[in-house]
Amino acid sequence: MRTIIIGGVAGGMSAATRLRRLDESMEIIVLERSGYVSFANCGLPYHVGGVIPERSALLLQTPQSLARRFGLDVRVHHEVIALDPSRKTVTVRPPGAAEPTELTYDALVLAPGATPVQPPIPGIDRALALRDVEDTDALVAATAEARTAVVIGGGFIGVEMAENLVHRGLQVALVEATAQCLAPLDPEMVAPVHATLVERGVDLRLDTAVAAVDATGVTLGNGHRLPADVVIAAIGVRPDSRLAAAAGLEVGERGGIVVDEFCRTSDPAIYAVGDAVVKKDAQDGSDVLVPLANTANLQGRRVADVIAGAGAAVRPVLGTAIVGVFGLQVGSTGWNEKRLRASGRPYRAIHTHPSDHAGYYPGATTIALKLLVDPANDAILGAQGVGTAGVDKRIDIIATAMAGGLRAAELADLELAYAPQFGSAKDPVNMLGFVDENQVRGLSDTVQWHELDAALADGASLIDVRTPGEFAAGSIPGAVLIPVDELRDRIIDLPAGPLVVHCAVGIRGHLAAMLLRQQGREVRNLDGGYRTWAAGMA
Amino acid sequence: MRTIIIGGVAGGMSAATRLRRLDESMEIIVLERSGYVSFANCGLPYHVGGVIPERSALLLQTPQSLARRFGLDVRVHHEVIALDPSRKTVTVRPPGAAEPTELTYDALVLAPGATPVQPPIPGIDRALALRDVEDTDALVAATAEARTAVVIGGGFIGVEMAENLVHRGLQVALVEATAQCLAPLDPEMVAPVHATLVERGVDLRLDTAVAAVDATGVTLGNGHRLPADVVIAAIGVRPDSRLAAAAGLEVGERGGIVVDEFCRTSDPAIYAVGDAVVKKDAQDGSDVLVPLANTANLQGRRVADVIAGAGAAVRPVLGTAIVGVFGLQVGSTGWNEKRLRASGRPYRAIHTHPSDHAGYYPGATTIALKLLVDPANDAILGAQGVGTAGVDKRIDIIATAMAGGLRAAELADLELAYAPQFGSAKDPVNMLGFVDENQVRGLSDTVQWHELDAALADGASLIDVRTPGEFAAGSIPGAVLIPVDELRDRIIDLPAGPLVVHCAVGIRGHLAAMLLRQQGREVRNLDGGYRTWAAGMA
Ligand SMILES: Cc1cc2nc3c(=O)[nH]c(=O)nc-3n(C[C@H](O)[C@H](O)[C@H](O)COP(=O)(O)OP(=O)(O)OC[C@H]3O[C@@H](n4cnc5c(N)ncnc54)[C@H](O)[C@@H]3O)c2cc1C
Ligand SMILES: Cc1cc2nc3c(=O)[nH]c(=O)nc-3n(C[C@H](O)[C@H](O)[C@H](O)COP(=O)(O)OP(=O)(O)OC[C@H]3O[C@@H](n4cnc5c(N)ncnc54)[C@H](O)[C@@H]3O)c2cc1C
Ligand SMILES: CC(C)(COP(=O)(O)OP(=O)(O)OC[C@H]1O[C@@H](n2cnc3c(N)ncnc32)[C@H](O)[C@@H]1OP(=O)(O)O)[C@@H](O)C(=O)NCCC(=O)NCCS
Ligand SMILES: CC(C)(COP(=O)(O)OP(=O)(O)OC[C@H]1O[C@@H](n2cnc3c(N)ncnc32)[C@H](O)[C@@H]1OP(=O)(O)O)[C@@H](O)C(=O)NCCC(=O)NCCS
């Protein structure tokens, strides 16, 4: 029996190695277009930036090492140009050969990944993209003498590239067509990321289109020109389903290869995994594209099991992701508020600003956390985090809680490892559970930063319960200052009618709201306090 | 209505503040024996070591700040000396007063914590303990001019104290009566902790009793003498149930106050929380003492809900804990192998040695991870981790998976946040799931480090599949070297009969075992490889 695998990196090579472990006698051929297999895609930007100085560190395996250890027949510079499912053949172009050759298969795995989106901009051909080792070499060469760069696209890879080009000493502009970078985050969460980019010298252009690229720079939609010795296109990726589509395999609306939960395409002998395929969303089972390495590797391993005769179903995806931005950790899992709102799905949002570890232990920093909850059943719908430490941990804990079907209020009960250098006795994740539980039980009610104007227009009065010093340093227009410690004695100073209270992050506001409710007042706490409001309004 | 709370720190003050938020009109009196409330117990060792330089950082709240913000009546230097449940009174000794006074309550919360165990050693009175701020002041004073110290007891606090006294420049001996420090860990997991202590200059005496303490040092059970300007007793803590017991409340065998899941003692008006109470074990519902801050804080908050009329049950405990040891992170959750063995409960153990983040990204370090699994139903029974980074995250993920009822093999499917500075595309937790899944499916079978001798005595041959270089640097007696990359060609060189294969950590051994099985060989992989074996034999 012969299995052919197209694409020799995350999904493809994971399939190949697992398949070998399961079946010593199978012939396994891996066909890879580029000159490298098993390379660290996710490390490529950091090699361009010099953070990973050794190019060799990116190459986890070679065709030779894979032959020795796994008995794999790995052929680089072998691009597959066609499939024929009826004859079970692939047509491949070996290097230097005049003619393409055909190979037959018993099972075929498509793991061709995704291709960078190339927008229809005049001159875009000059822009470099980053997907493989050759691209990396080209970028290293192009940036060696360069002084200026324009990165088009503020997604994960665009932001990583901007940072890494700054590390290399270039003047970098980052041009993003929408109002924000890093689409998985909601706007109030991404504000500190924007601020960090600007602080670190990136010329950040949001809401800005690129009209044209030419030999010395980029012309923006607003007519401005940015000089650029190097232009990088990082507008996003689309599934590389060209071979599949040409062979008549079913391809989804958004270009992904359609597979069932066993990674089977519409042809019984052909499987597909990784960035190239359509996935099922964990929340609603809808079709989604989630081009991430964890899922690609897992699917690669699982498809080997299926081919070897005993595969488990591949799980639906939450889309858990993280990116580093000049030392900021930016993570998310599940759905964001934008998506919930767009889909008309009801939700509650909770914003907190805890310390990554106990405030009394040196080095504590603040994390901005956001939890999205289904008001009907308290299911966790998603989470986001931004901070300089401990974000990865909290996102992973919440993603695990989601996988385990924990309700949001059950986060209160998680027994997490605590010593002062690692967390808090009430960990930030526990605290999200406390806040949620109060809402579930009807003990507290909140206003979101983007709902505040409407609440005030509807006649609510805004009470700032922080200190005079905090108030003086920046306050919300229209707020009346009554510090929480004076509130009990100054009930009489409060305006009549509904109230919105707020503090810096929500904790004192919570106390104030609990107190005022017991005075019979209709009161809501501004969720996330001044910080979330200010970030949202930034 | 008046609630009196005895003990004003983790459990007690969490109860007080929550109770105030729930009920503005309740009279809440907190009686605290020491001179401080709301202090950071867990930070005390780090203040002694100068890591937390400011003493004031330990004091999160004062009676004044708690009065202002929460309207609490907090009385420090007020030791409660008796309870009378029938009359609903507590007898308290106010500072400076000649006579004790009585206070009546409607509800009473006992949150007196635990007291350091004082072993019956001659001269032990000289030893200092560390439980509150006064103890900390005493230790800071005692160590100011000291050059030598002996710490008795290698538990969490003993090890933290040893480290912090080294930070202060003292020569430190750590004397532990059993064969290992940090009892929650199994011996092969604690080996690197012992090595680190010794490397950092701690004179570590395991399996060593202290026979006597005198004015200038400590005499050991073996007759040796250790000089000691300061002696610290950290033998462990026991629930402070003296008041409860004297008042006729039910006290458990191991000295903890018996409470139901709503923190109610045997008296309907008296509640108890924190280190003083017996908890329910999450695995088997047995009575356990878990003196940790996360649970104390949570119970404090929940008991307030119960008193206010709507409390949820307190969850059983996993005992998730972590401690830093000279930059090593040492964490655990659930049961360890020692306890499983002692209770006769069947289990499978899995040892891995992954990188905390992708090996190709700078700064990656190795974590030792251990997972304990129920062979009957694949439930996760416990986990341990030791390393310099990322241990807290993995322990928390596994503790969350346990709370969510995930099976061990389901760890394979967790979608964790991956970028190379944070983890791996197959995160260490996923990898534990892969290894477990292979065992569940009967694809692989392992030998534990402590079972190897018996396996070899039973006639198995040991094959080391590492490289000649690795073999030369250290090998297991009796092992025959056949590097994995040569294995397919050297099947003929293998001895007949059952085989045990091993590599450095288990990955190449896994491949070798899969390969040899398909040759019809009876083969097991040495779990955790040479590293776990060497740690176990250390
Ligand atoms: C710069 C960069 C940074 C990233 N950072 C992260 C990160 O931090 N975290 C994260 O989770 N994910 C990250 N990703 C995404 C991650 O790398 C992908 O999700 C993952 O590699 C997808 O695996 P795959 O096997 O589907 O495709 P790939 O790993 O892309 O492999 C596909 C391979 O197929 C080959 N191929 C395509 N067509 C053919 C053909 N016709 N014939 C032969 N070979 C063919 C390609 O040359 C390619 O080598 C990053 C990606 C890039 C490019
Ligand atoms: C040095 C040290 C380090 C620690 N490190 C960690 C760690 O890293 N992680 C972790 O999870 N846990 C740690 N702990 C444990 C944690 O501090 C406890 O689990 C937690 O504080 C228990 O809370 P509690 O409210 O039950 O008791 P405590 O917080 O100890 O509070 C009890 C209070 O009651 C008072 N009291 C007792 N009897 C009376 C009386 N009769 N009248 C009036 N007052 C009375 C005491 O003076 C004391 O202040 C540490 C403990 C210590 C001592
Ligand atoms: C490196 C690569 C070839 C994968 O090789 P692999 O052998 O499947 O993976 P690993 O080396 O991580 O080993 C995993 C195997 O070891 C096993 N294993 C791990 N630790 C073990 C231990 N301590 N004991 C026993 N087995 C162990 C796992 O169970 C797994 O085997 P299985 O799949 O049969 O269950 C492939 O992942 C690759 O090409 N990666 C680079 C590209 C990439 O991932 N890019 C995206 C991220 S940058
Ligand atoms: C500090 C101490 C007095 C507790 O005070 P507390 O007010 O209960 O706790 P916090 O300040 O953490 O605030 C938690 C409250 O704020 C709420 N909250 C937190 N973030 C919020 C936000 N963003 N929006 C709204 N509410 C928020 C929580 O829900 C919780 O309120 P609830 O219990 O009514 O649900 C007590 O924990 C203590 O004495 N600690 C020191 C001792 C100790 O813990 N030692 C052991 C570890 S070293």
- Tell me which ligand sits closest to the C-alpha of residue A241: 1
**Structural domain boundaries, residue A156:** 124-235
Statement: residue B253 has pLDDT above 90: no
Q: How close, in Å, is residue A366 to chain B by CA atoms?
A: 17
CB A390 within 8 A of CB A353: no
In a shared domain, residues B286 and B331: no
Q: Whose CA is nearest to atom 22 of ligand 4?
A: A506
- Give the nearest chain B residue to A437 (CA atoms): B312
- What is the C-alpha to C-alpha distance for residues A164 and A232, in angstroms, rounded to an integer? 12
* Adjacent-strand bridge partners of B30: B5, B74
Q: How many residues can be counted in chain B?
A: 538
Q: How close, in Å, is residue A516 to chain B by CA atoms?
A: 9
Whether B314 is covered by a domain: the verdict is no
Give the other-Cβ count within 10 Å of B358's Cβ. Answer: 24
CB of B153 closer than 6 A to ligand 2?
no
Q: Of chain A residues 66-85, which have a CB less than 8 A from chain B?
A: 68-71
CB A167 within 8 A of CB A514: no
In a shared domain, residues A202 and A138: yes
Ligand 4 atom nearest to B66, measured from its CA:
3
pLDDT score of B169: 96
In a shared domain, residues A427 and A507: no
Nearest Cα residue to B275 out of B246, B236, B306, B245? B236
Contacts of A42 in chain B (CB under 8 A): 358, 418-420, 425
In a shared domain, residues A231 and A242: no
CB A415 within 8 A of CB B317: yes
Long-range contacts of A100-103 (CB under 8 A, 24+ apart): A103/A4, A103/A29, A103/A31
Q: Of A23, A68, A295, which has the smallest distance from its Cβ to B415's Cβ?
A: A295
CB A395 within 8 A of CB A332: yes
Q: Of A399, A414, A510, which has the smallest distance from its Cβ to B415's Cβ?
A: A399
- What is the C-alpha to C-alpha distance for residues A4 and A102, in angstroms, rounded to an integer? 12
- What is the C-alpha to C-alpha distance for residues B53 and A41, in angstroms, rounded to an integer? 44
Answer yes or no: do A393 and B396 touch at CB < 8 A.
Answer: yes
- Tell me which ligand sits closest to the C-alpha of residue A133: 1
Q: What CATH number has the domain bearing residue A487?
A: 3.40.250.10
A61: amino acid identity, one letter? Q
CA of A418 to the centre of ligand 2 (A): 14
Q: Of chain B residues 428-457, which have a CB less than 8 A from chain A?
A: 430, 434, 441, 443
CA of B434 to the centre of ligand 3 (A): 9
In a shared domain, residues B331 and B407: yes
Secondary structure of A98-113 in HEC code, one letter for each residue = CCCEEEECCEEEECCC
Contacts of A362 in chain B (CB under 8 A): 51-52
Give the other-Cβ count within 10 Å of A202's Cβ. Answer: 24
**Pairing of β B114-116 and β A210-213:** unpaired
- What is the C-alpha to C-alpha distance for residues B60 and B39, in angstroms, rounded to an integer? 6
Contacts of A25 in chain B (CB under 8 A): 518
CB A402 within 8 A of CB A338: no
Contacts of B364 in chain A (CB under 8 A): none
Question: Which structure tokens are listed for A468?
Answer: 């005079």
Q: What CATH number has the domain bearing residue B278?
A: 3.50.50.60
Domain boundary among B204, B235, B266: B235
CB A6 within 8 A of CB A12: yes
Nearest Cα residue to B394 out of B377, B375, B360, B370? B370
Give the largest Cα separation in chain B, rounded. 91
**Pairing of β A27-31 and β A2-6:** parallel
How confident is the model over B63-80, as pLDDT tens digits?
Answer: 999 999 999 999 999 999
Q: How close, in Å, is residue B110 to chain A by CA atoms?
A: 19
The mean pLDDT value of chain B amounts to: 97
Q: Of A69, A333, A393, which has the smallest distance from its Cβ to B392's Cβ?
A: A393
How confident is the model over A20-52, as pLDDT tens digits?
Answer: 999 999 999 999 999 999 999 999 999 999 999
Whether B315 is covered by a domain: the verdict is no
In a shared domain, residues B60 and B105: yes
Residues contacting A391, CB < 8 A, separation 6+: A322, A329, A330, A331, A356, A367, A385
How confident is the model over A105-154, as pLDDT tens digits?
Answer: 999 999 999 999 998 999 999 999 999 999 999 999 999 999 999 999 99
pLDDT score of A373: 98
Nearest Cα residue to A388 out of A421, A418, A366? A366
Interface with chain B: mutation pick from A62, A360, A441, A444, highest number of B CBs within 10 Å: A360
Answer yes or no: do B418 and A292 touch at CB < 8 A.
Answer: yes
Place of tokens 């290894």: B435
DSSP structure string for B396-452: HHHHHHHHTT-BGGGGGG------TTT--SS-HHHHHHHHHHHHHTTS--EE-GGGH
In a shared domain, residues B76 and B50: yes
Whether A317 is covered by a domain: the verdict is no
CB B502 within 8 A of CB B509: yes
Statement: residue B233 has pLDDT above 90: yes
How confident is the model over B487-523, as pLDDT tens digits?
Answer: 999 999 999 999 999 999 999 999 999 999 999 999 9
Task: Give chain A's domain count.
Answer: 4
Whether A177 is covered by a domain: the verdict is yes
Whether A321 is covered by a domain: the verdict is no
How confident is the model over B193-219, as pLDDT tens digits?
Answer: 999 999 999 999 999 999 999 999 999
A399 near B CB under 8 A: yes
- What is the C-alpha to C-alpha distance for residues B182 and B191, in angstroms, rounded to an integer? 11
In a shared domain, residues B251 and B104: yes
Whether A295 is covered by a domain: the verdict is yes
In a shared domain, residues B214 and B132: yes
Q: Of B42, B57, B417, which has the smallest distance from its Cβ to A396's Cβ?
A: B417
Question: Which structure tokens are listed for B125?
Answer: 């009175």
Q: How many residues can be counted in chain A?
A: 538
Statement: residue B96 has pLDDT above 90: no
Q: Of B69, B317, B406, which has the smallest distance from its Cβ to A404's Cβ?
A: B406
pLDDT score of A154: 98
B472 near A CB under 8 A: no
Q: Of B24, B323, B400, which has the smallest distance from its Cβ to A419's Cβ?
A: B323
B26 near A CB under 8 A: no
Whether B144 is covered by a domain: the verdict is yes
Question: Which structure tokens are listed for B127?
Answer: 């030893």
- What is the C-alpha to C-alpha distance for residues A415 and B262, in angstroms, rounded to an integer? 17
A294 near B CB under 8 A: yes
Residues contacting A344, CB < 8 A, separation 6+: none
DSSP structure string for A413-432: G------TTT--SS-HHHHH
Helix (H), strand (E) at residue A403:
helix A391-403
Phi, psi of B347, rounded to the nearest 5 degrees = -160, 160
CA of B54 to the centre of ligand 2 (A): 20
Share of chain B above pLDDT 90, in %: 98
Given its phi and psi angles, is residue A478 left (phi above 0), alpha (psi -120 to 50 degrees) or beta? left
How confident is the model over B339-361, as pLDDT tens digits?
Answer: 999 999 999 999 999 999 999 99
Contacts of B70 in chain A (CB under 8 A): 511
CA of A434 to the centre of ligand 4 (A): 9
Whether B319 is covered by a domain: the verdict is no
- What is the C-alpha to C-alpha distance for residues A204 and A175, in angstroms, rounded to an integer? 6
In a shared domain, residues A107 and A243: yes
In a shared domain, residues A155 and A288: no
pLDDT score of B310: 87
Contacts of B45 in chain A (CB under 8 A): none
Contacts of B295 in chain A (CB under 8 A): 415
Mutual orientation of helices B187-199 and B529-537 as an angle, nearest 10°?
A: 70
A516 near B CB under 8 A: no
Q: Of chain A residues 220-259, which have a CB less than 8 A from chain B?
A: none
B372: amino acid identity, one letter? L
pLDDT score of B293: 98
Phi, psi of A328, rounded to the nearest 5 degrees = -80, 140
- What is the C-alpha to C-alpha distance for residues A5 and B535, in angstroms, rounded to an integer? 40
Please give the ipTM for the structure prediction. 0.98
Domain boundary among B440, B469, B494: B440
**Which pLDDT band holds residue B98 (cuts at 50, 70, 90)?**
confident
pLDDT score of A146: 97
Q: Give average pLDDT by consecutive 10-residue segment, chain A, 538 residues.
A: 98 98 98 98 97 96 97 98 98 91 98 95 96 97 96 98 97 98 98 98 98 97 96 97 98 94 97 98 95 97 96 94 98 98 97 98 98 98 98 98 98 98 98 98 97 98 98 97 97 96 98 97 98 96
- Tell me which ligand sits closest to the C-alpha of residue A299: 1
CA of A514 to the centre of ligand 4 (A): 14
Phi, psi of A2, rounded to the nearest 5 degrees = -120, 130
CB A369 within 8 A of CB A383: yes
For residue A379, give the DSSP letter.
Answer: B
**Which pLDDT band holds residue B333 (cuts at 50, 70, 90)?**
very high
Domain boundary among A403, A420, A440: A440
In a shared domain, residues B248 and B107: yes
* Adjacent-strand bridge partners of B464: B481, B502
**Pairing of β B480-481 and β B107-110:** unpaired
Contacts of B291 in chain A (CB under 8 A): none
**Pairing of β A217-220 and β A210-213:** antiparallel
CB B90 within 8 A of CB B284: no
Give the other-Cβ count within 10 Å of A3's Cβ. Answer: 25
Give the other-Cβ count within 10 Å of A140's Cβ. Answer: 16
CB A74 within 8 A of CB A39: no
Q: How close, in Å, is residue B42 to chain A by CA atoms?
A: 7
- What is the C-alpha to C-alpha distance for residues A116 and A232, in angstroms, rounded to an integer? 11
CA of B85 to the centre of ligand 4 (A): 30
Residues contacting B24, CB < 8 A, separation 6+: A488, A514, A515, A518, A519, B71
How confident is the model over B306-315, as pLDDT tens digits?
Answer: 999 988 899 9
Q: How close, in Å, is residue A441 to chain B by CA atoms?
A: 10
